[in-house]
Amino acid sequence: MIELRGITKSYGTGEAMVRALDGVDFSVDRGDFIAVMGPSGSGKSTTMNIIGCLDTPSSGQYLLMGQEVGGLDRDQRALLRRNFLGFIFQGFNLLPRTTALENVELPLVYQGVPQDERRERALAALGKVGLADRAGHKPSELSGGQQQRVAIARAIVTRPQLILADEPTGNLDSARSREIMLLLQQLNRDEGMTVLMVTHEPDMAAYATRVATFVDGRLQSDIRQDAH
């Protein structure tokens, strides 16, 4: 599904140049649930940004479902993001003045989906995360765990090929974190969604079927495991 070949990423020039990625080879198979780990500055976030078409490599090849992404322009990358990828962030990134339903509908607005179908699909996505009864609530009326579940519903409403989750439990207590991880695991196992998640927490990585560890801009290890 995804293949990175010899990916490098450098910032700055001359003596000020920082090499964030140093020849990364990495692949993601359909149906994987991968936890991406590593210390700050290890290259894991840069790798996620390249996979998410938010950044471009300095050199190397990025293939997404067989298509070379490196040669695409900004608009083409935006189309890929909109149609194939779902994003979940640590900070939820919900619009504060709109309801859970309207937040979940938003990606479908950008896709030009008709209003009736938008509403139907958004309600179905909220149902999958157990929040159909909170559709009319604004973020301020929801707990942190519920807000993150709304964010997950927003990520899956477009039926993406890949979910990219950046520290999805970073702002949650341990009980809510387990709740979110079980939900991601369910989406992976039951819905067949491929999940790529950055985390600092080994407890959260234990829910994944693969753990990829980055150190100093390189992929240090990539281990399959029996998930929780």
Residue 217 has φ and ψ, to the nearest 5°, of: 80, 10
* Whole-number pLDDT of residue 172: 82
Q: Give pLDDT tens digits for 10-30.
A: 998 888 888 899 999 999 999
Q: Which residues pair with 221 in a beta bridge?
A: 213
Q: What is the pTM of this model?
A: 0.89
CA torsion 209-215-219-225 (nearest 10°) is: -20
* Whole-number pLDDT of residue 66: 85
- Which residues of the chain carry a pLDDT beneath 70? none
Domains of the chain: 2-224 (3.40.50.300)
CB-count exposure of residue 170 (10 Å: 0-12, 13-18, 19+): middle
Identity of the amino acid at 227: A
Give the C-alpha separation, 217 to 49, whole Å.
14
Give the number of other CB atoms < 10 A from CB of residue 131. 22
Give the C-alpha separation, 188 to 186, whole Å.
5
* Whole-number pLDDT of residue 207: 94
